[in-house]
């Protein structure tokens, strides 16, 4: 029997600590009898209520996953619209443009598939049992490097990257915001290392170790908030 567990952590970057402003990143995990998932979101730094937007986006994904239960087909369009509408209702009556946030997620609904999605920057990586890795990251070649796609008032459907993987192939999913992703030289090595170092630990221990790692981030002069979340499976035997 396969059990899906999650761990993660989020820390304020030095710039927000110095300015006494809140962490604009957020992460969440959910584990229900109908499914398991993780979400990582990053409020856009230029927006005054982006921390509200990123927290709301985490809830919006869980609600969207719940709405997908029992559907014979879950299209990327349906999923992105469901997240968008949930997010807009959660932040109301605030102005959506003031709450803009990126969104990365992974969830399973027990139908043999893991659904993955990414809007904006950061990194989503799926680690397979055969050691191969599927990674999604934002293509900024067609835009200015400081502009990223995000949940906002306009329909963001065309900006989403949404895909799925067979659950049986997947050892775990790794999500992180750009505060982590932009500092990585060896993405595969880092993702695999984090997964292997934490997946066998109790959840609270894994969360604490990950938090310590992010608080002691080695990159000089880094300033951004940093968030990591992982969803991984382990086989549990009866007896």
CB 86 within 8 A of CB 45: no
Tokens representing residue 221 in the block: 């002069």
Region 6-33 average pLDDT = 94
pLDDT tens, position by position, 164-173: 999 999 999 9
| Distance in angstroms (rounded) separating the CA atoms of residues 212 and 214 | 5
| Distance in angstroms (rounded) separating the CA atoms of residues 193 and 191 | 5
pLDDT range class, residue 238, cuts 50, 70, 90: low
Give me the percent of the chain exceeding a pLDDT of 90: 77
CB 104 within 8 A of CB 39: yes
| Distance in angstroms (rounded) separating the CA atoms of residues 232 and 200 | 10
Q: Which sequence spans correspond to the domains of the chain?
A: 22-217+225-230
CA–centroid distance for 10 within its chain: 11
Radius of gyration of the chain (CA): 17
**153 has pLDDT over 90:** no
Give me the percent of the chain exceeding a pLDDT of 70: 94
Strands 170-176 and 123-128, by their bridges, are: antiparallel
Asked if the bond preceding 93 is cis, omega within 30° of 0, the reply is yes
CB 160 within 8 A of CB 105: no
Average confidence score pLDDT of the chain: 92
pLDDT tens, position by position, 68-119: 998 989 999 999 999 999 999 999 999 999 999 999 999 999 999 999 999 9
| Distance in angstroms (rounded) separating the CA atoms of residues 59 and 110 | 20
Count other C-beta atoms under 10 Å from residue 166's C-beta: 10
Query: By three-state DSSP, how is residue 49 classified?
Result: coil
Tokens representing residue 50 in the block: 């982006």
pLDDT tens, position by position, 114-139: 999 999 999 999 999 888 898 887 76
CB 25 within 8 A of CB 15: no
**145 has pLDDT over 70:** no
CA distances from 195 to 16, 73, 96, 191, 219 (A): 28, 30, 35, 6, 20
How many residues would you count in the chain?
239
| Distance in angstroms (rounded) separating the CA atoms of residues 70 and 111 | 9
**30 has pLDDT over 80:** yes
Q: What is the pLDDT of residue 33?
A: 95
Residues with Cβ < 8 Å from 217, sequence gap 6 or more?
A: 183, 226
Q: Which CATH fold would you assign to the domain 22-217+225-230?
A: Phosphatase 2c; domain 1 (3.60.40)
Q: What is the pLDDT of residue 140?
A: 57
Q: What is the pLDDT of residue 43?
A: 95
Query: By three-state DSSP, how is residue 172 classified?
Result: strand
Task: Give me the residues paired with residue 229 across strands.
Answer: 8, 175
């Amino acid at each position: 029997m396969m059990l899906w567990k999650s761990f993660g952590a989020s820390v304020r970057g030095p710039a927000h600590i110095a300015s006494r402003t809140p962490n604009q990143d957020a992460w969440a995990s959910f584990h229900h009898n109908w499914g398991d998932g993780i979400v990582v979101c990053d409020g856009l730094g230029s927006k005054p209520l982006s921390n509200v937007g990123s927290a709301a986006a985490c809830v919006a994904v869980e609600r969207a996953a719940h709405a997908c239960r029992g559907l014979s087909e879950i299209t990327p369009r349906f999923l992105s619209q469901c997240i968008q509408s949930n997010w807009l209702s959660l932040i109301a009556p605030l102005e959506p443009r003031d709450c803009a946030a990126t969104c990365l997620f992974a969830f399973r609904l027990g139908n043999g598939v893991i659904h993955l999605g990414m809007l904006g920057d950061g990194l989503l990586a799926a680690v397979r049992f055969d050691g191969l890795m599927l990674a999604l990251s934002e293509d900024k070649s067609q835009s200015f490097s400081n502009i990223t796609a995000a949940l906002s008032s306009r329909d963001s459907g065309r900006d989403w990257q949404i895909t799925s993987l067979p659950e049986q192939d997947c050892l775990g999913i790794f999500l992180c915001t750009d505060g982590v992703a932009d500092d990585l030289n060896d993405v595969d090595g880092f993702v695999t290392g984090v997964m292997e170092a934490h997946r066998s630990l109790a959840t609270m221990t894994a969360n604490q170790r990950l938090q310590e790692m992010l608080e002691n981030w080695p990159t000089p002069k880094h300033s951004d908030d940093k968030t990591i979340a992982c969803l991984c499976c382990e086989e549990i035997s009866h007896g």
